[in-house]
Structure 1
Amino acid sequence: MKENELKIIREICLHILWNILKYTKHIKYRQIHKQALYNYLSKKCHTLGADFERVLVDIEWHLQYWGFKKGYDGNWYYQYNNIQFLYLWNCYRSVINHQTMYVLFYCC
């Protein structure tokens, strides 16, 4: 997988997980509109030259792994009434630990 594809996947994963963890009582963060997801990913992939299909498949896998189910309308819904906080926090930590960090050293 290309670096740009990984960058997009990490960014959207962190965004989704953080919103669920931060806003546990808000229903809107437990639903992901199919078209909004497609539009966002399409724009990001086009801008960074990443493979849209590959990124979409990976994001959909992550959504299922976290507990989302795809509805008949194609939208994604978090299937649990109560947020699985510790599980999602560990997922968030796992994604963020794979985030590339840049360190600059100044000499002289």
Structure 2
Amino acid sequence: MNAQAYPDKFSEFLGKDARTGLYLVRLGHTTYAANATCTEIFTVKDGVNTPVSQDVLASKDWILRNMRDVVFAERRKFSEAMQRSNIPVYSRQAYKHRRGYSH
């Protein structure tokens, strides 16, 4: 059996693409890329991002559902890491505000 042809898990978080800034998720045999809010979803094949149409997302609602779950889990993991940080939230926010990162 080829491990690539028969993945063990249906969904797998592959990380964040440094070039495009999109989250990469493998669902079944297809790799998808999405922004943090999952408003733009692409299929990735040979490094080329192809937009997924709204008709496909409507007919295959499991794509959007799984993408949101994975991206939410990654954001939650980051949030938990920030809570374990020794820098208080108000200090971090004040620093970002001084640097112009916050609105």
User: TM (normalized to structure 1)?
Assistant: 0.30
With a CA cutoff of 8 Å and minimum separation of 6, indicate the structure with the bigger relative contact order: 1
Q: Which has the larger radius of gyration?
A: 2
User: TM (normalized to structure 2)?
Assistant: 0.31
Greater share of helix: 1
Greater share of strand: 2
